[in-house]
Structure 1
């Protein structure tokens, strides 16, 4: 029996784990409404020309989610995962109505604050609860499956709502799809989910790590910058979100300018998300057997290469291939970063520590939206690709250097 694998964990409730994955799929569906429809609404309904103003919806989402990731992680260690999961879905109820009845772009930005709350509470809890239930030798696979469910949900929702928009319009598609997802998710959470926080207590006893508690400030500084390795993961999480900002907030508008149809755009963006979603099941599991840092660094270089490719190629086939490459890079780094952070924390601190990491990671949506918006408005879209490619290369380089330093320090007697 591995350290931390108590008899209770070795016979954990598989049904609960599957339900958590289904709920993560719902979370992805809800967020997937935004992947194509919201940028299209800025263009077609509100006729906004400023990239920075358009991307304000993404900044509102990112900063809200990042801050509440921190709050939800800490609270979930105290009161449990299920309550926050349910709160996350209840907060989502007004969002489809705002999309349908909005009269200004500012209302769309407001709705995205609600989306950020939903994501911070709901998705944070499904991944944390999944880690509570998983064995110590399968944490990478656990995160990979969770993230796969969410991003496959986003990709399929983008394609479905892109198709629905032809019949019901942008507003109607977002409302109908969104309200159904929210209602089903609330019912599923309330009726089927059981609390998992108790598993962390038995896990700590199993690995003899129970001891004096660490203050929140100490955990925050340690995860953010004091611990070199955790710092490298936190900054990596922040900058990898810049790629997602490009595909979420900028790519639909860029492809519209190339005269692609809304459905074609949904498919091209969906290729990126589906590749990311499916392949990270494999990379998550692979990271349980090889050095996680190798996969993380490789993912950054792949994404940097894909961003450069968008500067030079504009045909539909090449764009599809580059979208696949970008999704592949995200699959290499995204779930593995969470698993790598989890490797370095005590079970009783899991919610808080992962919340701190996710604070930095999802603030990348906010900082990325500002960065991409300024570059696209002041220069041009192709300069955005170069800028993001450069940041990805630098961020991956930081992880590589920190790992090299740690490796050589460990060799010193």
Structure 2
């Protein structure tokens, strides 16, 4: 865990705490992002932070336009009967997003955050148009390749930009707001498209929302969002090692391969977070592609399916407003482990019940478990990764996490074709429980909380890092 100048590794105040020199002006940034008065902190950067929350809501809405309607398009419009073929759109989405997450981290360090964000929105523009006009399922697959690329660039960038702005003290809270905005928008859009499809058909009306989201996303990202790479460099300039020395070997510059191997396999907390992220999105891929088919098979209407499709991401999204900040106070490890176990229990309930009310309850439990895990995993990555290579670590983590979409689609499709839909849900429930156990055994607590009587971290220009 890094701390800002003004405290030593044991959090004892230093003589110039609260009035440190404005070193930002002494280290100009080629982006023009640094300069006199640049500070870290949520309160100090609130306008840009709120803007980025709004932008990520639009990113989530682009994903939400598919949650209810596209699985039903495959079944009712294109006549797909095999689960594996029907889930191909999630498979390609997951692969495209995972790969883009990884390279987006490198691009952000090389070119800056804002250019990657704008480019991601430009890639999103054709997606709703392809879904509206698709004459074959192959067009839907192509749309989801573009959607995956776009999501990998835009969502990754908003995550890193918020981490840049707030500094170490409020990292969990920042991730809670980021993920809450994105997944609340997924829920609202899934619900809205369900009702629109019930009234006007599966195409084209539900995808008009996506056209509006893309236009707003391009406009805000181009005209209003500011570059934040300078904030990361500001934090890196004052980065102080943990008192326990745990991350001493990870300070300074690492190659891309070293960042990837530390995040994926070698560093215990980073690698435990990466596998938990993969399994979390594995069960999300199941929920996206299989749950609408399971509910339709029970005779539920499209609007009812839309409600169930919205409950899970709604609880997930709104719950992160609480869980992100809570992890700053109680720590990361046990929130992640218990959240994975709660998800496993919810999936088991979905596999055995057969009514709207019980499915709604289980979807809410699944959302609650995911809310405990999602922002906390990102905060844990931010705790361990040095600011100099944090964007690449986030990219590597998100590569594994969003590969879970592809793994979930493939696994669920194969098991469902062989043994039925409910068997697929059981298999994913078991894997989710196992992932929680891995976190409990392998991960250490990453959030180095201040000791009693310590002073708040301060920005490079003075003031509390709130």
> Same fold, TM exceeding 0.5?
yes
- Alpha-carbon offset, residue 166 of structure 1: 3.0
Distance 1:311 1:113 in 2: 30
Matched, 1:290 2:290: no
Matched, 1:274 2:314: yes
Matched, 1:166 2:206: no
- More deviation, 209-218/69-78: 209-218
Distance 1:393 1:72 in 2: 31
- The 5 Å alignment of 1:90-129 reads 90-129=122-161
TM-score by length of 2: 0.84
Distance 2:200 2:149 in 1: 27
Matched, 1:192 2:224: yes
Conserved 8 A contact 1:96-1:174: no
Distance 1:328 1:166 in 2: 28
- Alpha-carbon offset, residue 97 of structure 1: 1.4
Distance 2:216 2:151 in 1: 16
- More deviation, 388-397/164-173: 164-173
Note the aligned Cα RMSD (angstroms): 1.7
| Residue segments in structure 2 that go unaligned for 5+ positions in a row | 6-19, 21-37, 242-249, 447-466
Conserved 8 A contact 2:346-2:362: yes
- The 5 Å alignment of 1:133-282 reads 133-208=165-240, 212-282=252-322
- Alpha-carbon offset, residue 288 of structure 1: 0.3
Matched, 1:355 2:395: yes
2:393 match: secondary structure: helix
Matched, 1:72 2:104: yes
Counterpart among 341, 360, 367 of residue 327 in structure 1: 367
Distance 1:328 1:273 in 2: 9
- Alpha-carbon offset, residue 405 of structure 1: 11
Which position in structure 2 is the counterpart of 1:410? none
Distance 2:443 2:404 in 1: 22
Which position in structure 2 is the counterpart of 1:3? 3
Distance 1:357 1:211 in 2: 18
1:287 match: secondary structure: helix
1:9 match: secondary structure: coil
- Alpha-carbon offset, residue 311 of structure 1: 2.2
Counterpart among 336, 339, 347 of residue 307 in structure 1: 347
Q: 1:334-377, CA deviations, whole angstroms, 9 ceiling, x for partnerless residues?
A: 11011111100111211101000000000010111100000111
Conserved 8 A contact 1:99-1:174: no
Q: 1:63 to 1:136 in 2, by over 3 A?
A: same
1:97 match: secondary structure: helix
Which position in structure 2 is the counterpart of 1:411? none
- Which runs of structure 1 show a deviation greater than 4 angstroms over 4 or more consecutive aligned residues? 208-212
Conserved 8 A contact 2:344-2:433: yes
Distance 1:335 1:173 in 2: 33
Q: 1:208 to 1:308 in 2, by over 3 A?
A: closer
Q: 1:120-162, CA deviations, whole angstroms, 9 ceiling, x for partnerless residues?
A: 0111111110111013111001001100000000000011111
Matched, 1:373 2:413: yes
Distance 1:151 1:329 in 2: 14
- Alpha-carbon offset, residue 240 of structure 1: 1.0
Which position in structure 2 is the counterpart of 1:38? 70
Counterpart among 377, 382, 388 of residue 422 in structure 2: 382
Distance 1:382 1:44 in 2: 21
Conserved 8 A contact 2:331-2:445: no
Conserved 8 A contact 2:251-2:386: no
- Alpha-carbon offset, residue 208 of structure 1: 4.4
- More deviation, 355-364/394-403: 394-403
| Residue segments in structure 1 that go unaligned for 5+ positions in a row | 407-413
Distance 1:146 1:164 in 2: 27
Number of aligned residues: 405
Distance 2:45 2:266 in 1: 37
- Alpha-carbon offset, residue 212 of structure 1: 4.4
TM-score by length of 1: 0.95
- Alpha-carbon offset, residue 211 of structure 1: 6.9
Larger radius of gyration: 2
